[in-house]
Structure 1
Amino acid sequence: MVADLIIAPSPGLIPATLFMPTPKAAKRVLEFFTAQINNDHTRKAYLNATRRFAAWCEDHGLDELAAVQPIHVAAFVKELQGQFTPPTVKQHLAALRMLFDWLVTGHVMDANPAHAVRGPKYVVKKGKTPVLTADEARALLDAIPIDTLIGLRDRALIGVMVYTFARVNAVIGMKVKDYFTQGRRGWVRLHEKGGNEHAVPCHHSLEQILDDYLAAAGIAGEPDEPLFRTTGRKTGAAHPLWQQDVYRMIQRRAAAAGIATKIGNHTFRATGITAYLKNKGTLEHAQTIANHASPRTTKLYDRRSDEISLDEVEKIAI
């Protein structure tokens, strides 16, 4: 069966016939979208990008992979700029560069036609993620009823995102054993992108929140089971929460707390980082806690300038 997939790759993983003129090329493309790309969202985006380019080539009479030149990739990118935002165009170009590189190293092509093509200039100095003030975040946590297990679970889940700057997928991927004690302090172990593990000590408030949840849930003796799980009312068994579940929960909790800001799962990452930096935390340590590869990424979550701008606007005394 594996051999069949190599000779005749799954249609769901092949961008278009342009990229598989020979069994060798088809095998190489299949390897790219399976062995080289681990993230499902990235795989889908890159597939869409390469399919769009293949369709463009077909429309312009290019039906052979060897005939693709830098001028063709540049023309495709230029056309995209009239249809999509700069980040989307840059993602398309990145997908083509990576795929062509993979084909070159696999001796399917002689050169990468996308290598010298420049994408649109796009510099982000400030993130667009909605952020809460420290008071709003505290009010949200305090507004969640803790007389039910679901309330304790929701408060604990939001608490982990706020106090560890964690991505939602890293939090819902936690097992019970990923909350542990070390040096008389609670720690959380987060499973980040690429299979990387990242351990963060708990703020004393988070430690109490997690302890309350675990005590009520009675799951401390299930180390390999999901930490944040469904109630099991519909299926009869508990399952890990999905990202969509968390998003809907956050909307309900925010509405109940009277928070007008349109927030999402990523809000708490920006909220925690901003609150930390406002309290004289350093960008370097914020980067470490958030597990960012670059301080420039961490800086995108620093929203302290929002308050400065608001204070200045209020000086317009008309």
Structure 2
Amino acid sequence: MIAAADERAQLRFLEFFAVAIRNPHTRRAYMRAAGEFLAWCEARGVASLAQVQPLHFADWIEALGGELAPPSVKQQLAGVRRLFDWLVTGQAVPVNPAASVRGPAHSARRGKTPVLAPDEARQILDTIDVATHAGLRDRALIGLMVYSFARIGAAVAMTVDDAFVQNRRLWVRLHEKGGKRHEMPCHHNLEEYLLAYIDGCGLRERARGPLFRTIARGTKRLSDAPLAQANAFLMVRRRATAAGIGTAIGNHSFRATGITTYLKNGGTLETAATMANHSSTRTTQLYHRRSDDVTLDEVERVLI
């Protein structure tokens, strides 16, 4: 459909992803949603962008609802709606057919991220063999997510000089979503892990290079390439399995585990939101699982 459109529409379509969206993850998600929607329309005989109607969007949303969770459906609708808004402002199409289409209802009071018990997180950290570069790196990365509530995207984007000394204590500088810079003092365990990793792998002389790197093939030593989020996820699952953890965790599990443990030990929700760099405490509430203990206690009252 885009190839068959005029030059203005083609250019506007490309500009949406190249100009209007800076976050690479958002760009990738919206590109996938736009491609799937346009292919879906074409398969149903829609020949041009101008022929797309609200009913097409409504039918597409119904079809997606049978395959995806409501948040995923809402994300895909938001991406294509923004695309058509961009096309309208560029006078490539007359109106946005998605403007009046409502997505599925969804209200989350509790996040779905799997959370570990403190002793399980401790078990993963303690079972990592730190006699290797990979072990030092993995312990430092997991420790960063646990103790600083760091997002994996911000963690793997760090450079070596983003771990710096201030007031005789090691701090970390995280470059978060939306261009926000977030600085946090290190927990004493995290300070130990990061210094052991930086010194043990000889990273101090490469201050502008990536902090977390891949392992060069056949050398068991760090390369110059930054560690990708997908590789970090595989590492986390591998380390959890080696530690005998049955929970299907991901990178965000350590962030949620750190927040939950902090709150259980008397921390306040407002401070947790600041430490996690959340703009609202409502977001922080999705991560913590303090209510799980209450739920389990109450379930055991069913004495049958």
TM above 0.5, one fold? yes
* Superimposed CA distance per residue, residues 120-147 of structure 1 (whole angstroms, 9 cap, x where no aligned partner): 1011221111111112212222222333
1:169/1:234 CA distance change after superposition, 3 Å: farther
Checking the alignment, whether the CA contact within 8 Å between 1:159 and 1:209 is kept in structure 2 is yes
Query: Would you say 1:283 and 2:269 are equivalent positions?
Result: yes
Q: Contact 1:70/1:113 (CA < 8 Å) preserved in 2?
A: yes
Describe the shift of the 1:119–1:234 C-alpha distance in structure 2 as closer, same or farther (beyond 3 A).
same
Partner-residue secondary structure (3-state), 2:170: strand
- Supply the distance in 2 between the matched residues of 1:293 and 1:152 (Cα, whole angstroms): 32
Q: Secondary structure at the match of 2:141?
A: helix
Compared CA separation, residues 90 and 221, structure 1 to 2 (3 A): same
Name the SS of the counterpart of 1:111 in structure 2. coil
- Identify the range of structure 1 (76-85 vs 182-191) with the bigger mean alpha-carbon deviation: 76-85
Segment drifting more, 22-31 vs 41-50 = 41-50
Structure 1 partner of 2:248: 262
**Residues 96 and 247 of structure 1: is their aligned pair in 2 closer, same or farther, counting only changes over 3 Å?**
closer
Give distance in 2, aligned partners of 1:222 and 1:58.
51
Distance (whole Å) between structure 1 residues aligned to residue 134 and residue 285 of structure 2 = 34
Query: For structure 2, which runs of at least 5 residues remain unmatched after alignment?
Result: none
Q: Unpaired segments of 5 or more residues in structure 1?
A: 1-15
Task: Specify the alignment match of 2:236 in structure 1.
Answer: 250
Q: Distance in 2 between matches of 1:26 and 1:144?
A: 51
Looking at structure 2, the residues matched to 195 and 136 of structure 1 have their Cα atoms a distance apart, in angstroms, of 33
> 1:233: how far off?
4.4
Asked whether the equivalents of residues 278 and 304 of structure 1 are also in contact (C-alpha less than 8 Å), the reply is yes
What residue number does 1:297 align with?
283
Q: Percent identity?
A: 55
Matched, 1:69 2:69: no
Aligned-residue CA RMSD in angstroms?
A: 2.2
The one of 147, 152, 172 aligned to 1:168: 152
**Which stretch has the larger CA shift, 293-302 or 51-60?**
51-60
Output the amino acid matched with 2:2. Answer: T
Indicate if the aligned counterparts of 1:21 and 1:64 stay in contact, CA closer than 8 A: yes
Residue aligning to 1:184: 168
Q: 1:92 to 1:228 in 2, by over 3 A?
A: closer
8 A contact 1:38–1:194 mirrored in 2: no
Task: Supply the distance in 2 between the matched residues of 1:52 and 1:180 (Cα, whole angstroms).
Answer: 45
Counterpart of 1:31 in structure 2 is 15
Are the counterparts in 1 of residues 81 and 96 from structure 2 also a CA contact under 8 Å? yes
Q: 1:48 to 1:251 in 2, by over 3 A?
A: closer
Q: What amino acid sits opposite 1:144 in the alignment?
A: I
TM-score (norm 1): 0.86
Q: Are residues 1:17 and 2:2 paired?
A: yes
Whether the aligned pair in 1 keeps the contact of 2:2 and 2:9 (CA below 8 Å) is: no
Letter of the structure 1 residue corresponding to residue 125 of structure 2: L
Q: Which residue of 2 aligns with 1:104?
A: 88
- Indicate the SS of the match to 1:292: coil
1:287 Cα offset (Å): 1.6
TM-score, normalised on structure 2?
Answer: 0.90
Distance 1:61 1:210, change over 3 A: closer
Residues 243 and 66 of structure 1: is their aligned pair in 2 closer, same or farther, counting only changes over 3 Å?
Answer: closer
**Post-superposition shift, 1:162?**
0.4
What's the secondary structure of 1:116's corresponding residue?
coil
Aligned to 2:202: 218
The residue that corresponds to 2:122 in the other structure is: 138
Cα displacement (A) at 1:79: 3.4
Q: Distance in 1 between matches of 2:35 and 2:72?
A: 14
Letter in 2 for 1:141: L
Change (3 A) 1:148 1:76: closer
Which residue identity is paired with 2:271? Answer: H
Match of 1:125 among 96, 109, 113: 109
Match of 1:204 in 2: 188
